[in-house]
Amino acid sequence: MSPNYPRLARIAQIKGRVTLTVNVNEQGKVESVQASSVSPLLAQPAEENIRQWVFCPSAKSSGPLVISYIYALEGRAQYEDGPAKVIFDLPSDVHITAHPCEGQPDGWPH
Protein backbone atom coordinates (compact mmCIF):
# COMPACT_ATOMS: atom_id res chain seq x y z
CA MET A 1 0.00 0.00 0.00
CA SER A 2 1.32 3.42 -0.95
CA PRO A 3 1.59 6.13 1.69
CA ASN A 4 -0.70 9.14 1.53
CA TYR A 5 -0.19 12.84 2.19
CA PRO A 6 -2.62 13.80 4.98
CA ARG A 7 -5.16 16.45 3.94
CA LEU A 8 -4.71 18.51 7.11
CA ALA A 9 -0.92 18.61 6.56
CA ARG A 10 -1.51 19.71 2.96
CA ILE A 11 -3.86 22.50 4.09
CA ALA A 12 -1.34 23.66 6.71
CA GLN A 13 1.41 23.27 4.08
CA ILE A 14 3.47 21.06 6.36
CA LYS A 15 6.30 19.32 4.58
CA GLY A 16 9.49 17.63 5.63
CA ARG A 17 11.22 14.39 6.46
CA VAL A 18 9.98 11.62 8.74
CA THR A 19 12.81 9.29 9.74
CA LEU A 20 11.67 5.85 10.85
CA THR A 21 13.83 3.37 12.74
CA VAL A 22 12.28 -0.02 12.03
CA ASN A 23 12.91 -3.35 13.75
CA VAL A 24 11.95 -6.42 11.70
CA ASN A 25 11.28 -9.93 13.05
CA GLU A 26 12.46 -13.23 11.54
CA GLN A 27 9.35 -13.45 9.34
CA GLY A 28 10.08 -10.03 7.83
CA LYS A 29 7.25 -8.27 9.66
CA VAL A 30 7.68 -4.96 11.45
CA GLU A 31 8.07 -5.45 15.21
CA SER A 32 8.52 -1.83 16.22
CA VAL A 33 8.83 1.62 14.70
CA GLN A 34 10.23 4.82 16.16
CA ALA A 35 9.64 8.07 14.26
CA SER A 36 11.27 11.45 14.38
CA SER A 37 9.54 14.17 12.40
CA VAL A 38 8.80 17.83 11.91
CA SER A 39 5.14 17.09 12.63
CA PRO A 40 2.94 14.33 14.11
CA LEU A 41 0.63 14.97 11.13
CA LEU A 42 3.32 13.39 8.93
CA ALA A 43 4.80 10.88 11.41
CA GLN A 44 1.60 8.98 12.14
CA PRO A 45 0.69 8.08 8.53
CA ALA A 46 4.33 7.14 7.80
CA GLU A 47 4.35 4.79 10.82
CA GLU A 48 0.99 3.28 9.82
CA ASN A 49 2.23 2.73 6.28
CA ILE A 50 5.55 1.09 7.20
CA ARG A 51 3.76 -1.34 9.55
CA GLN A 52 2.07 -2.80 6.44
CA TRP A 53 5.38 -3.62 4.75
CA VAL A 54 6.95 -7.07 4.75
CA PHE A 55 10.74 -7.21 4.49
CA CYS A 56 13.18 -9.91 3.43
CA PRO A 57 13.89 -11.97 6.53
CA SER A 58 17.60 -11.14 6.09
CA ALA A 59 16.77 -7.54 7.09
CA LYS A 60 16.49 -8.80 10.68
CA SER A 61 20.14 -9.83 10.82
CA SER A 62 21.45 -6.41 9.84
CA GLY A 63 19.86 -4.59 12.79
CA PRO A 64 17.33 -1.74 12.69
CA LEU A 65 16.49 -0.24 9.31
CA VAL A 66 16.34 3.51 8.83
CA ILE A 67 13.82 4.67 6.22
CA SER A 68 12.88 8.27 5.47
CA TYR A 69 9.52 9.43 4.19
CA ILE A 70 10.05 12.77 2.47
CA TYR A 71 6.87 14.85 2.14
CA ALA A 72 6.92 17.69 -0.41
CA LEU A 73 4.33 20.12 -1.77
CA GLU A 74 4.45 21.46 -5.30
CA GLY A 75 2.20 23.39 -7.63
CA ARG A 76 -0.83 25.53 -6.90
CA ALA A 77 -3.25 24.86 -4.10
CA GLN A 78 -6.31 22.82 -5.05
CA TYR A 79 -9.60 22.50 -3.23
CA GLU A 80 -10.01 18.81 -4.07
CA ASP A 81 -7.56 16.20 -2.86
CA GLY A 82 -5.59 14.86 -5.77
CA PRO A 83 -3.53 11.72 -5.51
CA ALA A 84 -0.02 12.06 -4.20
CA LYS A 85 2.90 11.01 -6.37
CA VAL A 86 4.92 8.34 -4.58
CA ILE A 87 8.44 7.29 -5.53
CA PHE A 88 10.08 4.41 -3.70
CA ASP A 89 13.82 5.12 -3.72
CA LEU A 90 14.69 2.11 -1.62
CA PRO A 91 16.37 0.95 0.46
CA SER A 92 16.26 4.24 2.34
CA ASP A 93 13.77 6.81 0.96
CA VAL A 94 10.10 7.13 0.07
CA HIS A 95 9.15 10.42 -1.62
CA ILE A 96 5.52 11.62 -1.34
CA THR A 97 4.68 14.73 -3.38
CA ALA A 98 1.27 16.41 -3.65
CA HIS A 99 -0.39 19.74 -4.38
CA PRO A 100 -1.22 21.91 -1.36
CA CYS A 101 -4.91 21.95 -0.44
CA GLU A 102 -7.25 24.88 0.03
CA GLY A 103 -10.18 24.90 2.36
CA GLN A 104 -11.12 23.00 5.43
CA PRO A 105 -10.47 19.37 6.27
CA ASP A 106 -13.20 16.84 5.56
CA GLY A 107 -15.90 16.84 8.21
CA TRP A 108 -15.46 20.49 9.20
CA PRO A 109 -18.39 22.84 8.64
CA HIS A 110 -18.15 24.85 5.44
Per-residue pLDDT tens digits of the chain, which is 110 residues long: 778 888 889 889 999 999 999 998 888 899 999 999 889 999 999 999 999 999 886 655 668 899 999 999 988 777 666 778 888 888 888 898 888 887 655 555 44
Q: Is the pTM of this model over 0.85?
A: no
Q: What residues contact residue 53 under an 8 Å CB cut-off, 6+ apart?
A: 30
- Is residue 107 situated within a structural domain? no
Domain that holds residue 52: 7-85
Number of domains in the chain: 1
Reduce the DSSP state of residue 30 to 3 states and report it: strand
62: number of CA atoms within 13 Å, CB side? 11
- Is residue 59 situated within a structural domain? yes
- Is residue 53 situated within a structural domain? yes
- List C-alpha distances in Å: 49 to 30, 33, 45, 76, 97: 11, 11, 6, 27, 16
**CA–CA separation, 14 and 6 (whole Å):** 10
- Is residue 105 situated within a structural domain? no
